[in-house]
Structure 1
Amino acid sequence: MHSFENHPAERIPTTIYPDSEEASVAVARDIATLIRNRAAEGRMCVLGLATGSTPTRMYEELVRLHQEEGLSFQNVISFNLDEYYPMQPNSLQSYVRFMHEYLFDHIDIRPENVHIPDGTVRQEEVAEFCRHYEEQIRAAGGIDIQILGIGRTGHIGFNEPGSGAASRTRLITLDHITRTDAASDFYGEENVPRRAITMGVGTILEAHSIVLLAWGEGKAAVVKRMVEGEMTDSVPATYLQKHPEVSVILDDAAAAELTQRKTPWLAGLPCNWQDEALVRKALTWLARTLQKPILKLTDEDYNENGLSELLNESGLAYNSNIRVFNELQHTITGWPGGKPNADDTYRPERQSPFPKRVLIFSPHPDDDVISMGGTLLRLVDQGHDVHVAYQTSGNIAVFDDEAIRFAEFVADYDAAFRLDEQQAETLYERVVDSLKNKAPGQVDSAEVQLIKGLIRRGEAKSACRYAGIPDENAHFMDLPFYETGRVRKKPLGEEDIRLTVDLLNQVRPQQIYAAGDLSDPHGTHRVCLSAVFQALQRLKAEGCEWLKDCWVWLYRGAWQEWDIDRIEMAVPISPQELTRKRRAIFKHQSQKDRPLFPGADQREFWQRAEERNRTTAKIYDQLGLPEYEAIEAFVRWKI
């Protein structure tokens, strides 16, 4: 595998890549090299494989290497980590089905060499099955590379907190958090199996080498505990510290809490104090740690908290303090589209052109108002030509009873006005019959998917009208990657990018907002952002003229907020504007009270957004800047 630089605070070697794409491709190529080397030696290569969203891009690259570069899997034996219990192999949530969809159906591995825990074994036979599974691994010569992900509880495989270092393959009861995280795949926590068959920690530690993959900010906290924390059965992944050949592969977001990234000065790592971003990161950290405004930080504060080198560079604490304070102050603007006829030297946005054509990309039909509703309202109020592009239909996030209610409305409406009663009644009966006979997690019929999509579309239109956005400025893209009827989506394709390019050329915006919320556990935000980035890069390569006058701002808020030191535009939201934002969110009635896919945070999205907006404002206040009710934050992405 790759060579790693082990930092002082880290108990497991880590390699950090800019993004999960690059990391996944690198790991896949390392696996391919081992497979080829073993084939050249006339030996089998034994792979331990994982499921979930984390390794999917790695599997796609292995498939590509097979189909385009002739990588053969004839000499590969595979053992999967786990499977829900009970679970039929053809179920949508089955790991058997997952592995075939993402890997086995597309390569030349021998069927007899594929091993996955069997979720159909009778309970009285599970113990014997698990014992035999271990025997098969030993008979194959042990696992050469074990691929792992990590859960929020720190579990590897389904080894939940409390699993011992010597645990073997067994039937285990799933932790509540694990079941909550899996709820979206099963369309409700009540449908998630309570048990699973999993390789044990001891089984995993017997692999010759182990590679753990983790992507996204949602994994950052548990990654820190695994890599830098004490070994404990409350975080089973920490047992990997015992293994001599283990490596942790991260993207930038998952590495955010590691000492080498968050506070390198505390680990004695070399710091480039000419880097203004690093100085800003250090001083906002110091001020928040000491609970002092930035302008009150002293030389002693620097020296006593690992920042003596920065002090040597700046001469006096106040020199750095005032510079960072001014930088933060210059992020604050009540004119997100730029203030006309004003000096914009220290403003985050240009004064001209004014008004601007603004295009807001919203991955789901409510992300625009949830994550930047206050800014959206202000852009409209200040006279800009605001467009919203709803990238996906959001149809899977509608409860079945909502679809029945709307089908019933159609039937009652037609009956009341003596229209085509038979057709209306037939629609209602079809919808009710389809949903009544649907198994948990089963894909909705095309007709039901359409109704659910129209529900979300109607709510988005209502929110736009409330905000003052004309109907013709609401664009419903229905990107094809999303339209599977399942939580698991197709990879981003050419059609998705083409539709995005076409809309950009149609609107020709001078300002773009896109969701940079990479903590979205279902990945839709990440894919939608990639579609925007790829479309913009394509337009740039084509020499697009209007693009030269276009700025791109990334928002967050539904899942996580920007770190204070990264914010480049902070838009204050007054109490009245916060109320208006909440009302715009409430237009999305199907998401009210209980979102279908809430993720780890069970609160409604409007509650999360308001709490994050208020927290951002509070941090600015604590740093010594003006006190506001709430703030929406943005980071600029340069094309």
Structure 2
Amino acid sequence: MKKLKNFTPVEKSFFDNIERKNRTNVPYIVVDNFPNLGLLTALRFLEWAHENPNGVISLPTGKTPEYFISWTKHILQNWERDDVIEIRKKHLIIFDEKPALDGLHFVQIDEFYPIKSTQGNSFFHYVNQYYIEGLGLNREKAILINCDEIPLAEGKTYQQVFPDNIVNLNLRYETPKNITEEIQQKSIFLIDQWCSDYEQKIRDLGGIGFFLGGIGPDGHIAFNTRGSDALSTTRLTATNFETQAVAAGDLGGIEVSKERLVITIGLETITYNKDAVAIIFAAGEAKAPMIKDAQEFFPSNLYPASVLAKLPFGRFYLTAGAASMLKDCIDNFYNSGKWNQDKTDKAVMALTKKLNRYAEHLTLQDLQNDCYTKLIPGLGENTVKSVMDSMESKIIKGIEKLENEVFYHTGPHHDDISLGLLPYINYQSRNESNQSHYSVLTSGFTAVTNKFLLKSLEDALVFIRKGEIQMLVYPDFFETGFRNKKDKDVYHYLIHIASRDTYQRNRALSHRIVRNIAELWDVNHRTELENQILEIIFAIKGSYTGQNPEPKIQTLKGMLREYEEELVWAHFGVMGDHVHHLRLGFYTGAIFTEKPIKERDVLPILKQLREINPTVISLAFDPEGSGPDTHYKVLQAIAEAVREWAKEKDLSELKIWGYRNVWYQFHVADSSHIFPISLNAMTTMDESFTNSYLSQVEASFPSYRYNGKFSHLSIKTWVEQLQDIQLILGKAYFYDNQSPRLRATHGLLFFREMSVDEFLRSARELERSTQGIP
């Protein structure tokens, strides 16, 4: 086991017995999953706060701190409870006195600019709700970024100086063209001075003593994006695409976040106090490349988090997925436990990529010279062939035609199933002995922008006033008729795709919106319907972008997404009664969604399992709890429903398919099935996405990996996966294959089949790690 130099008792309690060579820029600790990451950071924070009751702290915003905040509050509020005492003993919290946090000085890390401090999506609001009030910190000792109070030229407000919320930083260097630009230039200089004063306030306190931050998709900490100077201080600055994509969820779309600047503390601000405890915590495989860059490359402004190497108490706290690309962790993977075919597959695949050489051209000497392939038991002439056979067997499984199956495909959000499995689903659905059900477990309303909803409502109002929503004249429409013939709205829309009649497609959407409003607001006649639409439009126009709307508007947005999901599967002849919308209650649009509870979130799934009686369940598989929080909470709910169902019947034959989509992907060695995807299948998926997910076509909430539609990112992923497998099997395996299906391959889809026991074991570990948190 490595030397635990400078590690505290709490940190040592989280070390496993794995020997790590610590070849990283900054020491790190690995835990199993996201909730345990929160426990580690909470205990380390409380340990530090006990030793530094008047210290200076800086804590992060966003979703990553969810379990840090939950554990910190839980431990403080239940300090003398038996289970908390056990946690304290286990993790070497040896002091009996509960840490007092009211003496700490809190420093806000960053903020969007401009943004009202009262908005629920401002970081000022966040730190006041979750840290100042939530943890009982002293507001008078806090150094905060309140955009409303930053002085501007002539005593004006930012709404007056920057009426469109756009700040042109080029005015720092250009001659103003008019009075407006002159005032804006003076205001920018005043903001710059305010930032310098903010920095000085922090330094007057001796600098930050305890810093906790996440790491962004470009490796940023705070808003110090890739390329930031290691000597940077607090400043007003622009961001890059990756950061804007992540911020889109906070601000109501990338069209907003790309125009918004930020105020951020600098890298030098974080490292000014040379005795500071500075921690970066990260969860999930998606963060692994950023962690590797910051930890294993020479510290540079390309890897902002590498600045922690300056500090003796700098740390990275990571989940296994986030640490998975570190050489220490790769060494441990190959050098511990029983060797199996998966290890052989990964080692040989890694070698082909490192050498950029097809597997058939690898020599025995190549294998013997590599630090990992040389470990393969019985290394010899047949080693590479075993990997080729392994890949081919997964392709054979992938193209096997199934019969008499009942598929229960689930998705945390709308479009998850389509992006994750559509080509394979379509392939198996052609056999009419199979039945398919599609269940989206949350309403997904947060993905519908106010702009899209406004346009849809305004269109509906036009169609109503023109008398083109003919169902309104039916005598029973407002009593019961609005509930009937919803499949007709779907057919009306799809029949006009081929004719490219946008007008009629908009009319079909308006039909569904009218039905939804009649249901939600219980309107009784056409005039009341029109007035209600006008009220909704007024409410939306009066809200800020990114604001969590009132419950009925939330539901209306979610119902639009549900209509989109019905459109997707109707492309393939699926009736609306086979597309299910569960709207699990834990999903509220709050920053931190609630944990799933049995009565509200598990029993609806169990009810469907009993009714549908599937032989196959597909789900977004995130056992580490590291993707979007909805994903792993849905995983918990499904696991508990399956666990309850297993008490009623024998599930030994039930198959679980774990898929991954644009947020994270399987390594092929961790998958069981490889499915070949043709250009036709790619086009089918892309067109069904574009035609059906109307609210998503403009990609207001894109992945940081791709500036465009999610469907294009899925295709990009499939193509990259094919390139990896071609290094093993060779290109000729596909284009010279006797099978037309394999000859037509231009991408590959991976998924993993599990038994019920295997799936529940994975889910159980995540469930255990959240027990005890309110």
TM over 0.5: yes
Instruction: Tell me if 1:548 matches 2:652.
Output: yes
Counterpart residue number, 2:21: 7
- Match among 410, 416, 438 for residue 361 of structure 1: 410
Could you tell me which amino acid in structure 1 is paired with residue 326 of structure 2? Answer: L
Q: Which residue of 1 aligns with 2:49?
A: 35
Deviation of the 1:613 alpha carbon? 2.2
Partner secondary structure for residue 482 of structure 1: coil
CA contact (8 A) 2:106 2:143 kept: yes
SS at match of 2:107: strand
Unaligned runs of at least 5 residues, structure 1: 341-353
Q: CA deviation at 1:246?
A: 1.1
Question: Whole-Å Cα distance in 1 between the matches of residues 125 and 681 of structure 2?
Answer: 48
User: Hey, what's the Cα distance between the residues in 2 that align with 1:621 and 1:172?
Assistant: 44
Shift of 1:556: 1.7
Q: 2:146 aligns with which of 96, 102, 118?
A: 118
When the two structures are aligned, how many residues end up with a matched partner?
612
- Equivalent-residue separation in structure 2 for 1:196 and 1:576 (angstroms): 44
**Code of the aligned partner of 2:256:** N
Distance in 2 of aligned mates of 1:289 and 1:107:
48
CA contact (8 A) 2:254 2:700 kept: no
**Residue aligning to 1:257:** 325
Query: 1:274: how far off?
Result: 2.2
Residue 314 of structure 1 aligns to a residue in which SS?
coil
Closer/same/farther in 2, CA of residues 201 and 573 from structure 1, 3 Å limit = closer
* Cα pair distance change 1:117/1:401, threshold 3 Å: closer
Partner of 1:191: 256
Which residue of structure 1 lines up, in the alignment, with residue 223 of structure 2? 158
Structure with larger Rg: 2
C-alpha displacement of 1:301: 1.0
Contact preservation (8 Å) 1:482, 1:490:
yes
SS in 2 for 1:467: coil
Please state if 1:606 is matched with 2:711.
yes
Q: Does residue 235 of structure 1 match 2:341? A: no
1:304 maps to amino acid: N
Q: Where does residue 93 of structure 1 map in the other structure? A: 121
For 1:482 and 1:413, locate their aligned partners in 2 and report how far apart those are by CA, in whole Å.
33
Aligned to 1:636: 753
In 2: Cα distance, 1:134 partner to 1:464 partner: 55
Identical counterparts, % of pairs? 21
Change (3 A) 1:578 1:199: closer
- The structure with higher relative contact order (CA 8 Å, sep 6+) is 2
Does structure 1 residue 314 correspond to structure 2 residue 378? yes
**Partner SS, residue 577 of structure 2:** helix
CA distance 1:296–1:170, shift in 2 (3 Å): closer
**What's the secondary structure of 2:147's corresponding residue?**
coil
Residue 567 (structure 1) aligns with: 671
Q: Distance in 1 between matches of 2:723 and 2:301?
A: 37
Match in the other structure for 1:44: 54
Residue identity in the other structure for 2:558: G
Distance change (3 Å), C-alpha of 1:396 and 1:308: closer
Alignment of 1:490-529 (within 5 A): 490-494=593-597, 495-516=600-621, 522-529=628-635
CA contact (8 A) 2:609 2:645 kept: no
**2:595 corresponds to 1:531:** no
Deviations 1:279-329 (A, max 9, x none): 221011112333444344321111333246325x3141x232232222222
Out of 301-310 and 277-286, give the one that drifted further: 301-310
2:425 to 376, 379, 403: 376
Structure 1 residues 161 and 315, CA gap change in structure 2 (3 angstroms): closer
Q: One-letter code of the match for 2:750? A: A
Query: Is 1:459 the counterpart of 2:523 in the alignment?
Result: no
Counterpart in 2 of 1:349?
none
Report if the CA contact (8 A) 2:121-2:250 is conserved: yes
Contact conserved, 1:215 with 1:253, CA < 8 A, in 2? yes
**Cα distance between partner residues in 2 of 1:468 and 1:633:** 25
Q: Mark the runs of 5 or more structure 2 residues left unpaired by the alignment.
A: 1-7, 81-97, 153-188, 474-524, 735-741, 761-774
Q: CA deviation at 1:93?
A: 2.1
Aligned to 1:59, the other structure's residue is in SS state helix
Distance 1:21 1:178 in 2: 24
Aligned to 1:434: 539
Residue 270 (structure 2) pairs with residue 204 (structure 1)? yes
Q: 1:216 aligns with which of 266, 270, 284?
A: 284
Distance in 1 separating the partners of 2:576 and 2:446: 24
Q: Aligned in 2, Cα 1:168/1:275: closer, same or farther, shift over 3 Å?
A: same
Deviations 1:573-604 (A, max 9, x none): 34444444344334424145412211221222
2:25·2:306 contact (CA, 8 Å) conserved in 1?
no
Contact 2:245–2:701 (CA under 8 A) maintained in structure 1:
no
Separation in structure 1 between the aligned mates of residue 397 and residue 695 of structure 2, nearest angstrom: 29
User: 2:76 maps to which residue?
Assistant: 66
Verify: 1:299 aligned to 2:299, yes or no.
Answer: no
Deviation at 1:241, TM superposition (A): 1.3
* Structure 1 residues 442 and 532, CA gap change in structure 2 (3 angstroms): same
Does the 8 A contact of 1:133 with 1:169 survive in 2? yes
> Is residue 407 of structure 1 aligned with residue 457 of structure 2?
yes
| CA distance 1:247–1:385, change in 2 (3 Å) | same
Query: For the residues of structure 2 that align with 1:279 and 1:153, how far apart are their CA atoms?
Result: 31
Deviation at 1:226, TM superposition (A): 0.5
Match of 2:109 in 1: 81
Give yes or no for contact 2:254–2:701 (8 Å, CA) kept in 1. Answer: no
Following the alignment from structure 1 to structure 2, what is the Cα–Cα distance between the partners of residues 308 and 607?
A: 35
Residue 347 of structure 1 is matched in structure 2 by: none
Shift of 1:102: 2.9
Hey, what's the Cα distance between the residues in 2 that align with 1:160 and 1:230? 17
**Cα drift, residue 240 of structure 1:** 1.2
Q: Which amino acid aligns with 2:453?
A: A
In the superposition, the TM-score normalised over structure 1's length comes to: 0.87
What does the per-residue CA deviation read over 1:149-202, in whole Å, with 9 as the maximum and x for residues that have no partner? Answer: 122232222223443333333333334442343122111334336433322222
557 and 127 in structure 1: CA distance in 2 versus 1, 3 angstrom threshold: closer
- Identify the range of structure 1 (417-426 vs 366-375) with the bigger mean alpha-carbon deviation: 417-426
Give the aligned residue type for 1:357: V
What is the letter of the counterpart of residue 211 of structure 2?
Q
* Distance change (3 Å), C-alpha of 1:576 and 1:83: closer
Q: Which secondary structure state, in structure 1, belongs to the residue aligned with residue 29 of structure 2?
A: strand
CA distance in 2, matches of 1:475, 1:624: 40
Q: Residue 387 of structure 2 corresponds to which residue in structure 1?
A: 324
Deviates more, 1:461-470 or 1:51-60: 461-470
| Cα distance change, pair 374–307 in 1 and its aligned pair in 2 (3 A) | same
> CA offsets per residue over residues 203-250 of structure 1, 9 Å max, x none?
211152111111223322221111011111232221211211111011
What are the Cα deviations for residues 38-70 of structure 1, in whole angstroms up to 9, with x where unaligned?
A: 5xxxx4344221112222221111111122226
The answer for the alignment partner of 1:389 in structure 2 is 439
Does residue 1:24 correspond to 2:38, yes or no?
Answer: yes
Aligned residue for 1:481, secondary structure, equals coil
Distance in 2 between residues matched to 1:325 and 1:462, nearest whole Å: 40
TM-score, with normalisation over the residues of structure 2? 0.72
| Residue 512 of structure 1: how far off its partner (Å) | 1.2
Alignment partners' CA distance in 2, 1:334 and 1:254: 30
Is the 1:288–1:623 contact (alpha carbons within 8 Å) kept by the matching residues of 2?
A: no
**C-alpha distance in 1 between matches for 2:103 and 2:446:** 40
Amino acid at match of 1:170: R
